[in-house]
Amino acid sequence: MSPDRPPRVPDDYDPADFVPFAVTVDLAVFTVRDGHLHVLLVERGEEPYRGHWALPGGFVRPRESAGQAARRELAEETGLSPDTVAGLRPEQLRTYSDPDRDPRMRVVSVAYTALLPDLPEPRGGGDAAQARWTRHDTGELGHLAFDHGRILADGRRRIGAKLEYTCLATAFCPPEFTLGELQQVYETVWGVTLDRPNFRRKVLTSPGFVEPVEGPPRRTGGRGKPAALYRAGTATALHPPLLRPEGRPTP
């Protein structure tokens, strides 16, 4: 698997200015489980940071884009089919390029976020050791490898913000879900509690956010009145947005 065209130094720059970089992708994959935000982590099997937890990811191959690499790594790491992963539409977060972020060499990493419905317990299929869902809130995740702690924090802030003005929250839910489940996504990611009737009103009056499923309702856990089921609608943006309480953006 060598590159189709060998890389050449561009001729309109001083060759001394050109350095080969390695380019990787890193994935901040979130899910909501038991009312807590979880993130997919792998345990590193090699130095540096052997034994530390890290975000799943890997090198971009010669003939693929960073987005393709992200989808490939996500499929390898979770054991999900490529089709399923493509439907998750991993979204580019930002690129990390500090010269010293990897002690081995100059590595530039394009980070992605992805949102999974719920606990398809990962089979560690990729390069590293097992992949595991880890609670994001507790101190359970110590110091991550490289600058992955920063990437993870940036990813969490981004998805929190996107919940406000997009319909992204449905990506955390299974194909059919109750409004209670959808509300719990917001409450979990934002770390707040929302008024149930108000949340319901907002969601149902936002055109295209959700659409009702015909047929009998299901009971969530047995307790309480059975809830109606909804599917994700066709809308992608939320106008006006669903602002989080206090008007205080996560810093």
Q: Which is nearer to DNA, 113 or 166 (CB)?
A: 166
Stretch that binds its own copies, among 28-36, 90-98, 176-184, 210-218 (CB under 8 A): 90-98
Tell me which of its own copies, DNA, none is bound by residue 226, counting a contact when its beta carbon lies within the kind-specific cut-off of 5 to 8 angstroms. Answer: DNA
Residue 84: phi and psi, rounded to 5, are -60, -45
Task: Give CA–CA dist 238/168, Å, rounded.
Answer: 9
Q: Which is nearer to DNA, 3 or 35 (CB)?
A: 35
Angstrom distances, CA of residue 20 to CA of 7, 83, 104: 9, 33, 13
Tell me which of DNA, its own copies, none is bound by residue 98, counting a contact when its beta carbon lies within the kind-specific cut-off of 5 to 8 angstroms. Answer: its own copies
How far apart, in Å, do the first and last CA atoms of the chain sit?
Answer: 44
Positions that interact with DNA (CB under 7 A): 178-180, 195-198, 200-202, 205, 217, 219-228, 240-243, 245
Q: Which residue in the set 33, 158, 165, 187 belongs to the binding site for its own copies (CB under 8 A)?
A: 165
Is residue 249 at the binding interface for its own copies, with CB under 8 A as the rule? yes
Which residues, other chains included, contact 96 with Cβ-Cβ below 8 Å and sequence gap of 6+? 26, 108, 109, 111, 147, 150, 151
Task: Give CA–CA dist 163/237, Å, rounded.
Answer: 10
Q: Report 172-191 residues binding its own copies (CB under 8 A).
A: none
Torsion region of 51: left, alpha or beta (phi above 0 gives left; psi -120 to 50 gives alpha): left
Q: Which is nearer to DNA, 140 or 176 (CB)?
A: 176
Stretch that binds its own copies, among 31-39, 138-146, 178-186, 237-245 (CB under 8 A): 237-245
Is residue 19 at the binding interface for its own copies, with CB under 8 A as the rule? yes
Task: Give CA–CA dist 77/92, Å, rounded.
Answer: 18
Tell me which of its own copies, DNA, none is bound by residue 227, counting a contact when its beta carbon lies within the kind-specific cut-off of 5 to 8 angstroms. Answer: DNA
Is residue 243 at the binding interface for its own copies, with CB under 8 A as the rule? yes
Q: Which residue in the set 55, 66, 182, 185 belongs to the binding site for its own copies (CB under 8 A)?
A: 66
Which residue has 């001729």 as its token pair? Answer: 11
Residue 24: phi and psi, rounded to 5, are -125, 170
Least separation in angstroms between residue 224's CB and its own copies is 33
Helix 179-190 vs helix 196-205: crossing angle, to nearest 10: 110
Instruction: Find the largest Cα–Cα distance for the chain.
Output: 71
Is residue 58 at the binding interface for its own copies, with CB under 8 A as the rule? yes
Residues near its own copies (CB under 8 A): 1-3, 5, 7-14, 16-23, 45-46, 58-67, 92, 94-95, 97-99, 104-106, 108, 110, 127, 165, 237, 239-241, 243, 247-249
